Amino acid sequence: MPRRIAAALLLLGPLARGADAPAPPDLAELRGPLVLAGAGPLPDDARDAVFDLAGKEKAKIVVVAGAADEAVLKAWREKKPAAVVLLHARDRKAADDPAVAKLLADATAVWVAGGDPEVMRDTVVEKEVRKLHARGGVVGGATGDPFGFLTGFVVAPNDAAKRLRIAVANRRGSVGLGIGPGSAVVARGRTLRVVGDGTVAIHVAAGGGRDAATQTATAGDLFDTFQLRRAALNRAAKEPFPPKSPAAPVVEKGSLVIVGGGGAGPEIWKTFIELAGGPDAPIVMIPTALEDPLPAVPGEVAALKRFGAKSVEVLHTRSRAEANDPKFSAALLKAKGVWFGGGRQWRFVDAYEGTLVETRIRAVLAGGGVIGGSSAGASIQGEFMPRGHPLGNTVMAAEGYERGFGYLPGCAVDQHFFARNRTADMTGLMKLYPQYLGIGIDEGTAIVVTGRTAAVIGKTKVAFYDATAKPAGDTDYVEVKAGERYDLKKRAKVE
């Protein structure tokens, strides 16, 4: 089945992040896989997923059922795992039998084939299943999510849209997951994959000026659970994003160097180092947008040193707890410049949004320092962050991942702009959110922002989109070439 990113629901939908911005959601990846099926016969793909994730021929599967019927084991035994046993949880006494612990101690998968989930609540069965999942074992069933592993989701083993809407409306900030007959979802880490011949309904409630939305997914569709939850929580927030009237695009203190990717040239690097205070200025480089494993020496560190920077320290973590540790970000207290590297900008959000690291970076700018970055390191600097979907960079407005760090208020910054023919993408974004000033920066090109002025330096040009005015000519943007300037507040080229 081909890999597909299911994002239609998420073409919806960041107020500059400051001291009054809402706290980011507390999200965590699943420690073990989940396979949740709808009513009726279990799809072959779902059974295969349980078998494969549990260790294939080494799998030890415990099937939990409300009746002592060995027939429920037949299809599992046909897969030829190492072991398949039946756990008859007919009542709370049976579910609390100490022998259950021994039965589940060596299991690599538990499949809940039936019975009342409430019977197992707070029993030995639940305790041992949680232990199994914590060590990476597979948990699944056709009874919803009986142990509540999929935090923030309302899971129903059917796709009855009306019932799902009611359930989600009663749990603000949650996501509805209606699994239809003949279908299932396989959840690993933070990704949901739809399998089977049926359909799955993904539902989020109305909020933040948006209507309730239900998306029908079929086999092969992929979803990111963090993105779905962030979207639902944003709708339930007191001040959901984006605002109707963003702040004016003015950098009150310090400067920004925002590069369109494709490699920064000598002029850009030298400008950044000069704005930081010269070769001796302490600079922090953040490569977190890259996927693991990171290079021993990020390319931006080598470039900074090649063009004269003598003091460059790398700051990187995936742990929000570490990002809140004062010792971890101590280098930012003396930094005069911060550089965000390329990659995928949502990784910056996951690691640093709302943490002490983000607060200290903002303090560098407030103290008259400079913040720079290229590609992902460019888009993260705007108030609105295009292409933030964790499953791909083609979605311009991924609800839940729209809020950038807002060093440049009132703007949406895209990169690799003319090199990758992205002009129409920004046109579409401006139709959705005309309150923003759209900025498309070409490769090898940068804007240097001080106050309300953006000076273009580097190889080519930058496009500025103002949806409130029609530029002269055939395009819906104003081109500003290297050596020219643009007044961000006035939304006009400086002649």
In the DSSP assignment, the letter for residue 17 is: -
- Give the separation between CA 184 and CA 38, rounded to whole angstroms: 6
Q: How confident is the model at residue 21 (pLDDT cuts 50, 70, 90)?
A: low
* Pairing of β 478-481 and β 445-451: unpaired
Give me the mean pLDDT over the 466-487 stretch: 92
CATH 3.40.50.880 fits 23-236, yes or no: yes
Is residue 23 predicted with pLDDT exceeding 70? no
pLDDT in tens, 262-321: 999 999 999 999 999 999 999 999 999 999 999 999 999 999 999 999 999 999 999 999
Closest CA to 9 of 397, 434, 429: 397
Query: Among 265, 338, 269, which residue's Cα sits nearest to residue 308?
Result: 269
d(CA 478, CA 470): 10
Q: Which residues pair with 85 in a beta bridge?
A: 62
Residue 18 is predicted with a pLDDT of 42
Amino acid in position 6: A
pLDDT in tens, 118-167: 888 899 999 999 999 999 999 999 878 889 999 999 998 776 777 888 88
Take residue 183 and report the two structure tokens written for it: 């279908």
pLDDT digits (tens, 9 = 90+) for 247-256: 999 999 999 9
Sheet of 453-458, strands arranged across: 311-314, 282-286, 337-340, 370-374, 251-259, 445-451, 453-458, 485-487, 492-494
**Where residue 10 falls among pLDDT bands split at 50, 70, 90?**
very low
pLDDT reported for residue 401: 98
- The reported pTM is 0.93
Q: Give yes or no for residue 9 having a pLDDT over 60.
A: no
Phi, psi of 475, deg, nearest 5:
-100, 165
**Where, residue-wise, is CATH 3.40.50.880 in the chain?**
23-236, 251-494
How much is the pLDDT for 3?
Answer: 46
Average pLDDT, the chain: 92
* pLDDT reported for residue 434: 97
When pLDDT is averaged across residues 25-50 and rounded to a whole number, the result is 93
The domain 251-494: what is its CATH number?
Answer: 3.40.50.880
User: For residue 141, what pLDDT is reported?
Assistant: 92
Q: Could you tell me if 112 and 143 are in contact, meaning their C-beta atoms sit under 8 angstroms apart? A: yes
Distance CA 421, CA 419 (A): 6
pLDDT at 387 over 60: yes
Q: Is residue 386 over pLDDT 60?
A: yes
Higher pLDDT, 418 or 162: 418
Determine the pLDDT at residue 442.
Answer: 98
Percent over 90 (pLDDT), the chain: 81
pLDDT digits (tens, 9 = 90+) for 355-368: 999 999 999 999 99
Please confirm whether the linkage preceding 409 is cis (ω < 30° from 0): no
| 3-state SS, one letter per residue, for 118-184 | HHHCCCHHHHHHHHHHHCCCEEEECCCCCCCCCCCEEEECCCCHHHHHHHHHCCCCCEEEEECCCEE
- State whether residue 35 is helix, strand or coil: strand
Output the pLDDT for position 12: 34
The closest alpha carbon to 271, from 452, 453, 458, 409, belongs to 458
Lowest mean pLDDT among 20-34, 292-306, 434-448: 20-34
Backbone φ and ψ of 212, nearest 5°: -60, 150
Which tokens is 26 given? Answer: 């507390």
In this structure, of 5-19, 93-107, 416-430, 466-480, the range with the lowest mean pLDDT score is: 5-19
